[in-house]
Amino acid sequence: MKYSSNVNKEMTVKLLDWFYANKRDLPWRHDVRPYSVWISEIMLQQTVIRSVISYYKKWMKRFPDVHILAKAGEKEVLTMWEGLGYYSRARNILKCAHQLIGLYKGTIPDEYDKLIRLPGIGDYTASAILSIAYKKPYPVMDANVNRVARRILALKSWDLFIKKEVADLLKKIISSKDPGGFNEAVMELGQRVCLVDTPLCSQCPVSGHCVSYKKNLQDRIPEKKNLQIKSRETLLPILITENRKSILVFEKKRGVLQGLWMFPGISRTGGYAERMEQFIEKNISDDFEKHGKLTVRTHHYTRFAEKLFPFIYSVRKPGKKLKEDWMWIPFRELEKYPFPSVYRRILQDVEEYMKNL
DNA sequence: AATTCGGGGAC
DNA sequence: GTCCCAGAATT
């Protein structure tokens, strides 16, 4: 192996010593049941620890084990997930719970090939469950491990990063007694020492093994990814009943944000108010009244920014038959429906606006 | 192999 | 505003 000279078993001991001297108190570290490891690892996919902690605690209180989880409905599960993002994770957790009951009597398999076939579980999560819950020597490859490995091996461009090669290397040095501790050690090192910008090499237990540090390249590795952000503008005609007790929303049945609820949106190109009002006449009712507009809310996603322009209309008599999946929902029941965060924010704006209507 | 997914926080 | 995060699924 081309890179292995500087990567050796000495690192294993140094990493573990550093980890147990600096280990943080995180809620999932008090409970290494396979179930808890599974849930926490799914929540942590592409999501920072700080955001996950409160969701994890709330989840374990409501769904302490897989049997209780498997009896829950998708709407409640998605509502518990509201604000965490990447909602297919929540739908897959429920799907996976059903499969665990059906295939494995509610236990979580301790074999890679079985785990990897379950919904929402890929290479990372399978390895995390095997190493942390079952103490099997499977190295994890997440964003932290990726960055730490790239720095240690001085792999500058992303093209040179060969995943399998690094995985093989980690497999050689992972602790056989404490594989979970080893994996958590590398991840925590990436999080707290081997930072994206300005790594704290003076605090690093394995700087002596790091080629980037030796060559003083640590600030230039890895290279920036240079994302391209696309933007979009959307009109939101928000319809409330004349008595101001209910609001029109629909459930998204397919595509992105599947299973979540939102307001109808119209792409903001060309005509403006006319298009919203045509939309209302066609789909809801001829008898409506226009009120004001709300604060414009911009929402940023990974490669995407959407600017939402909400307008309030009230409908005197809902004449037209509503499309499938659309419902008038009383404001007091909205908390039971999962909304994407930006829509939840706009709902707050609507209620605030109605106080002065 | 590359893109989608579509939240949130730190700057 | 930009970049990143205990990635998986899809094409």
Please state the φ and ψ torsions of residue A86, each to the nearest 5 degrees.
Answer: 45, 65
Average pLDDT of the residues in A122-145: 96
For CA atoms A341, A342, A344, A348, the dihedral sign is: positive
User: pLDDT tens digit string along A49-97?
Assistant: 999 999 999 999 999 999 999 999 999 999 999 999 999 999 999 999 9
User: pLDDT tens digit string along A85-131?
Assistant: 999 999 999 999 999 999 999 999 999 999 999 999 999 999 999 99
Residue with CA nearest C1' of nucleotide B10: A48
Per-residue pLDDT band at A1 (split at 50, 70, 90): very low
**pLDDT score of A159:** 57
Per-residue pLDDT band at A312 (split at 50, 70, 90): very high
Strand B footprint nucleotides (protein C-beta < 7 Å): 4-10
- Any atom of strand C under 7 A from CB of A188? yes
Hey, what CATH topology would domain A230-355 get?
Answer: Nucleoside Triphosphate Pyrophosphohydrolase (3.90.79)
Distance (Å, rounded) from C-alpha A353 to C-alpha A357?
7
Distance (Å, rounded) from C-alpha A90 to C-alpha A140?
22
Which nucleotide is nearest to A342 if distance is taken from CA to C1'? B7
Hey, what CATH topology would domain A4-214 get?
Answer: Endonuclease III; domain 1 (1.10.340)
- Any atom of strand C under 7 A from CB of A148? no
Residue with CA nearest C1' of nucleotide B6: A301
The separation, in Å, between residue A284 CA and nucleotide C4 C1' comes to 42
Average pLDDT of the residues in A239-268: 90
**pLDDT score of A208:** 96
**pLDDT score of A93:** 97
Q: What's the one-letter identity of residue A104?
A: Y
The separation, in Å, between residue A75 CA and nucleotide C10 C1' comes to 24
What is the number of other CB atoms lying within 10 angstroms of the CB of residue A50? 7
- More confident call, A160 vs A141: A141
**pLDDT score of A320:** 66
Query: CB of A191 within 8 A of CB of A23?
Result: no
Q: Which tokens sit at A107?
A: 């236990």
Per-residue pLDDT band at A148 (split at 50, 70, 90): very high
**pLDDT score of A157:** 64
Chain A span 37-56 residues with beta carbon within 7 Å of strand C: 40-41, 44-49
The separation, in Å, between residue A233 CA and nucleotide B11 C1' comes to 25
The separation, in Å, between residue A319 CA and nucleotide C3 C1' comes to 48
The protein side of the strand B contact, defined by CB less than 7 Å from any of its atoms, consists of A 46-48, 50-51, 83-88, 255-258, 299-304, 340-342
Which nucleotide is nearest to A47 if distance is taken from CA to C1'? C5
Q: Is pLDDT above 80 for A272?
A: no
- Any atom of strand C under 7 A from CB of A198? no
Per-residue pLDDT band at A318 (split at 50, 70, 90): low
- More confident call, A271 vs A52: A52
Per-residue pLDDT band at A224 (split at 50, 70, 90): confident
Average pLDDT of the residues in A297-323: 84
Distance (Å, rounded) from C-alpha A262 to C-alpha A347?
10
Q: Which tokens sit at A70?
A: 């498997």
Strand C footprint nucleotides (protein C-beta < 7 Å): 1-9
Query: For this structure, is A41 an active site residue?
Result: yes
Distance (Å, rounded) from C-alpha A307 to C-alpha A297?
6
The residue ranges of every structural domain in chain A are 4-214, 230-355
- Any atom of strand C under 7 A from CB of A147? yes
Out of A10, A41, A74, A274, which one is annotated catalytic?
A: A41
Angle at CA A281, nearest 5°, toward A347 and A237?
A: 20
**pLDDT score of A268:** 78
The separation, in Å, between residue A176 CA and nucleotide C5 C1' comes to 28
**pLDDT score of A319:** 63
The separation, in Å, between residue A338 CA and nucleotide C7 C1' comes to 23
User: pLDDT tens digit string along A163-220?
Assistant: 777 888 899 999 999 999 999 999 999 999 999 988 999 999 999 999 999 999 998 8
**pLDDT score of A220:** 87
